Amino acid sequence: MNIIDKLNDFINQTKESKEIKRALAVKMTLSGKSYHEVKELLNVSHSFISEWKNQALFHGVESLRLQYQGRQGYLKTVEKEKTIEWLRAQDYLRLSDLKNYLQEQYDVVFESNQSYYNLFKEAGISWKKTQKKNPAKNDELVEVKRKEIEEFLAKWQPEIETGKLTVFMIDECHLLWGDILGYAWGKTDERIEIAIKNEKERQTYYGALDYKTKEFLVQEYESGNTKNTIEFIKYLQKQRPGNKLAIFWDGATYHNSQEFREYLMTINQYLSEEELLINCTRFAPNAPEQNPVEDIWLQTKNFSITFYHLCSSFKVVKWLFKFFADGQIFNFPKLFQYEILPQPT
């Protein structure tokens, strides 16, 4: 039974109006309705839709219940032995595969991921990962730029609070079909292989984080270039009609090309700095940690990896990627690193 069928059964069986609203929000979103349509039809917020969509996807439809507290977190000896036997029989695994197996077979959900890792270890399955660092990064320049960004945000705060100015943090993501491979749990003595027709198939996404509302907006393009950058800026203007836009992004050449500067001139003409309709500021070079959108792309790729078993084609990969990110309200510590706007309560 797929998740839509499970949601239909849930809606038909429950008598709680709050549970019905949660399930309807998830079902409508999974069926292709936009966040805006769901908001209007159910009279709910973006964050409500995001929260319950993620809850249903990661914890199952039953987690939409009002009194849901999870399932028991232990395995009987026989169940543990059968689980280890099952683990050894798999060619490759994600953590989510083990979680789904235990939940479906034994109705068990561990409180800590460490319990799952212990099972992997007992089954002779390991996980390895390397870290990288850009040697061209200038830590002093990064700190100077961070203070500059905070000063800008502090200066603009009254206009941001009143909705006259929208601050967007922007980044591009070039998704390859091969990106869904990532890392997996696998037998220590065997190579992991996944069938992919063309791992170099790619899709470029432009993403913009509204720094005040934490809403993330995504658009697809063939590549990252000046033409598509201008199109994306026009799209953002339509999403925030009448607002001035302040943009923070990296130093990609098409963010500062002659054609793009000429476009800004037609928009801003001879306005003073305080009156600019579009104001662009670059992050420090080689400092992706300054832009929280980098983390959003990582979360989105990890989501796609978690559900890699659904990705029978690159078309599905692209749909899944945009489905997770577009319209989502994000909330993680890095979003508040500049400490200018108040954190949501």
Contacts of 40 (CB under 8 A, 6+ apart): none
Residue 178: predicted pLDDT:
62
Q: Which amino acid is residue 326, in one-letter code?
A: D
Q: Which residue has the tokens 């001879």?
A: 270
Q: Where in the chain is the domain with CATH 3.30.420.10?
A: 139-336
Question: What does the pLDDT look like over 39-90, one tens digit per residue?
Answer: 998 998 888 888 888 888 777 888 898 876 555 557 888 888 899 888 888 7
Q: Quick one: which H or E segment has residue 217?
A: strand 216-221
- Which residues does residue 246 pair with via DSSP β-bridges, in sequence order? 167, 279
Count how many Cα atoms sit within 13 Å of the Cα of residue 224 in the half-sphere of its side chain: 19
DSSP code per residue over 221-246:
ESS-SHHHHHHHHHHHHHHSTT-EEE
Q: What is the pLDDT of residue 137?
A: 72
Q: pLDDT tens, 206-230?
A: 999 999 988 999 999 999 999 999 9
Give the containing element (helix H, strand E) for 121: helix 113-122
Asked if 204 and 224 count as a contact pair (C-beta separation under 8 A), the reply is: yes
Token reading at 186? 């696998």
Q: 220 with 205: CB under 8 angstroms?
A: yes
C-alpha span between 283 and 285 (Å, rounded): 6
pLDDT band (50, 70, 90) for residue 187: low
pLDDT digits (tens, 9 = 90+) for 163-186: 999 999 999 998 876 666 555 555
pLDDT given at position 68 = 65
Per-residue pLDDT reduced to its tens digit, 264-320? 999 998 899 889 999 999 999 888 889 999 999 888 887 777 776 666 677 877 887
Question: Which pair of tokens denotes residue 87?
Answer: 């683990």
Q: List the CATH code of the domain at 139-336.
A: 3.30.420.10
Nearest to 302 by CA among 324, 334, 326: 324
Nearest residue to 26 (alpha-carbon basis) of 2, 61, 1: 61
Q: Which residues pair with 278 in a beta bridge?
A: 245
